[in-house]
Amino acid sequence: MNWWKRRSEQLNAEIQEHIELETQQNISAGMSPGEARHAALRKFGNVTLAREESRELWGLLWLDRLWQDLRYAVRGFVRNPGFTAVAFLSLVLA
């Protein structure tokens, strides 16, 4: 998972660098800093969507989703220990 985390951090840094570069270009064009940042974000589009589309191209998105599902299941088991015990005993006895 270190590879995945490192790639995600690199992707986030690249997106921020792109937005900062566009912001600087807008400031050079005469916009105020706040207006320039807003225009850069608007031009870039949905940051979350760009991240997800980039991750899909990596080819291991299924592994990330599996990891998310496993963490969700463990949290559910921790929140409901009675259900967890009954489910575990049922599987052991079967």
Could you read off the pLDDT tens digit of each residue along the chain, which spans 94 residues?
Answer: 587 788 888 989 999 999 999 999 999 999 999 999 999 999 999 988 888 888 777 767 777 788 899 999 999 999 999 999 998 899 999 8
Domain count, the chain: 2
Question: Is 7 in the same domain as 51?
Answer: yes
Q: Cβ distance 39 to 19 under 8 Å?
A: no
User: What's the pLDDT at 40?
Assistant: 94
Domain span at 94: 61-94
Residue 42 corresponds to which amino acid?
R
Half-sphere exposure of 60 (CA within 13 A, CB side): 10
In this prediction the pTM is 0.57
User: What's the pLDDT at 1?
Assistant: 58
User: What's the pLDDT at 8?
Assistant: 84
Cα separation, 62 vs 77, whole angstroms:
22
Question: Is 45 in the same domain as 18?
Answer: yes
